[in-house]
């Protein structure tokens, strides 16, 4: 009987750029992914379109799937001869229960690999401006679970060893036990004025920090209603934060943005916003299915207009599949956008924007099935794929909204407006409730008109419809929900 293979992958602490190359390659090849609450759901977008996604999210007070069920599911999917990825937040070997899952696979002689990830206990402090070790402040570092299998959930630790022998201590998921932690560290030798910082959602744009001392941090946490997921860091090295904090100084730090999505490919706009410190949730997620392409008459046209960057790749793939030599096609190439022109340039073709296309000459428009809806007054069409909203991501989107505190909505084009509202409806999300406290940004006058037609009257536009102008608007005008 054939069996598949399981990759036990560390997703890193949240920022998707922190996943390892090997971990990302495993996701790209996966047929099944079992993912945790603390693994950034944006990583799932790198999976193949037909990949089965299974949520195993755990909260301190409840489990979607218990560990035994997860173990059984890993075995069952592998025995179906599937390539399975178990995606865990942080590093799977640091309180990730990877040993239990690996042992279950070994019992069935199922091949597996463990792919390490960046641990939150190190990454979250660095994003808060704190190295966990430093020659002057901290020559030792410990990671400690703050919630274990003891009867009352209080960690059974060697408190004297921690308090007297370790300079920097990172407690994982310990907000509920914070009073117990502080009391025991003071009782066993730590000074009451030892610095403490809590880092919630470390490395995400929604990262929050709360600083105090062992003596007063419990009261501060209660007043701020601070909650998990959070790393509790204890040690004198925290004093470096004021000087070397960097992430929270990014221009878009604190912006939690929903970006209306129109294409299947990763958005460069989303990437730029993230690099500037924002949290970005793209919605809806699209997927494409190929359709048979008839290229018999393609050589008869004088102009070919590509409707999207994706249509360029689909057209050239169809040429290869149908054994059609590109040299037999004599048409001038045009693109509907700058990104489409770039896709053509990368294949060695000098193309022009659609606005520069002459009126004369036979025209062929190439793209997904949306070109049938938006077909111009003249020209023939060649559909290379069908684009549909991926409903598998609806529950993922709803969970992302629950975890975040979205304050900004960006519509990059007029074509993004109607599909976004339709997808909200399919998610059973009330649009009026969703938008009532959001700063809505439209990229251009046509987009603004489409948004107003949809019923939103208080949208705003950047000075120009560019990434730089959008970032300047978002960075220069802090938005506070009423």
Q: Which of 58, 190, 285, 288 is catalytic?
A: 58
Q: Which of 88, 91, 173, 448 is catalytic?
A: 173
What are 210's strand-pairing partners?
Answer: 198
Q: Which of 15, 36, 91, 368 is catalytic?
A: 36
Residue from 470, 108, 59 nearest 257 by CA: 470
DSSP state of 92: T
DSSP state of 267: P
CA angle 307, 341, 27 (to 5 degrees): 75
* Residue 173 a catalytic site member: yes
What is the C-alpha to C-alpha distance for residues 70 and 375, in angstroms, rounded to an integer? 49
- In our burial notation (b when 16+ CB lie closer than 10 A, e otherwise), range 436-451 reads eebbbbbbbeebbebb
* Residue 58 a catalytic site member: yes
Q: How far apart, in Å, are the Cα atoms of 30 and each of 13, 44, 162?
A: 21, 10, 41
What is the C-alpha to C-alpha distance for residues 329 and 66, in angstroms, rounded to an integer? 59
Q: Helix, strand, coil: what percent of the chain each, to 5?
A: 40, 25, 40
What are 197's strand-pairing partners?
Answer: 211, 233
* Residue 448 a catalytic site member: no
Q: Would you list the DSSP string of 169-221? A: EEEES-GGGHHHHHHHHHHTT--TT-EEEEEETTTSTT-EEEEEETTTHHHHH
Enzyme catalytic residues: 36, 58, 173
């Amino acid at each position: 009987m054939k069996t598949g293979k399981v990759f036990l992958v560390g997703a890193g602490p949240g920022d998707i750029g922190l996943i390892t190359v090997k971990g990302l390659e495993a996701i790209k090849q996966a047929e099944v992914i079992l993912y945790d609450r603390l693994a950034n759901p944006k990583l799932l977008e790198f999976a193949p379109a037909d990949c089965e996604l299974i949520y195993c999210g755990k909260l301190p007070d409840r489990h979607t799937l218990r560990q035994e069920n997860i173990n059984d599911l890993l075995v069952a999917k592998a025995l179906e001869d599937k390539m399975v990825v178990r995606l865990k937040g942080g590093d799977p070997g640091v309180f990730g229960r990877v040993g239990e899952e690996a042992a279950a696979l070994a019992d069935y002689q199922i091949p597996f690999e463990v792919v390490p990830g960046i641990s939150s206990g190190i990454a979250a402090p660095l994003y808060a401006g704190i190295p966990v070790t430093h020659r002057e402040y901290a020559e030792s570092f410990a990671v400690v679970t703050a919630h274990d299998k003891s009867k009352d959930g209080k960690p059974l630790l060697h408190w004297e060893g921690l308090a007297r022998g370790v300079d920097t201590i990172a407690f994982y998921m310990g907000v509920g036990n914070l009073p117990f932690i502080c009391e025991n560290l003071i009782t066993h030798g730590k000074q009451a004025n030892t610095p403490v910082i809590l880092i919630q959602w470390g490395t995400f744009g929604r990262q929050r920090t709360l600083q105090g001392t062992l003596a007063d941090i419990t009261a501060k946490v209660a007043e701020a209603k601070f909650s998990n997921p959070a790393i509790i860091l204890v040690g004198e090295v925290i004093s470096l934060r004021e000087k070397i904090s960097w992430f929270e100084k990014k221009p878009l730090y604190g912006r939690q943005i929903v970006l209306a999505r129109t294409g299947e490919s990763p958005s460069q706009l989303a990437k730029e916003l993230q690099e500037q410190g924002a949290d970005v949730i793209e919605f809806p997620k699209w997927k494409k299915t190929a359709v048979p392409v008839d290229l018999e008459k393609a050589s008869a046209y004088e102009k070919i207009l590509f409707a999207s960057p994706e249509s360029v790749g689909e057209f050239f793939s169809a040429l290869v599949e149908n054994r059609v030599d590109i040299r037999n096609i004599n048409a001038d190439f045009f693109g509907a956008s700058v990104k489409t022109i770039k896709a053509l340039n990368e294949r060695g073709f000098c193309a022009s924007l659609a606005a520069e296309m002459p009126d004369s000459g036979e025209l062929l428009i190439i793209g997904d099935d949306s070109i049938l809806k938006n077909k111009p007054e003249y020209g023939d069409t060649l559909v290379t794929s069908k684009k549909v909203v991926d409903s598998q991501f609806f529950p993922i989107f709803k969970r992302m909204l629950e975890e975040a505190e979205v304050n900004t909505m960006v519509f990059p084009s007029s074509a993004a407006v109607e599909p976004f509202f339709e997808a909200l409806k399919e998610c059973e999300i009330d649009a009026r409730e969703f938008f009532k406290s959001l700063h809505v940004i439209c990229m251009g006058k046509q987009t603004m008109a489409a948004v107003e037609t949809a019923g939103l009257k208080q949208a705003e536009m950047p000075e120009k419809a560019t990434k730089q102008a959008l970032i300047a608007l978002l960075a220069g005008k802090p938005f506070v929900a009423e």
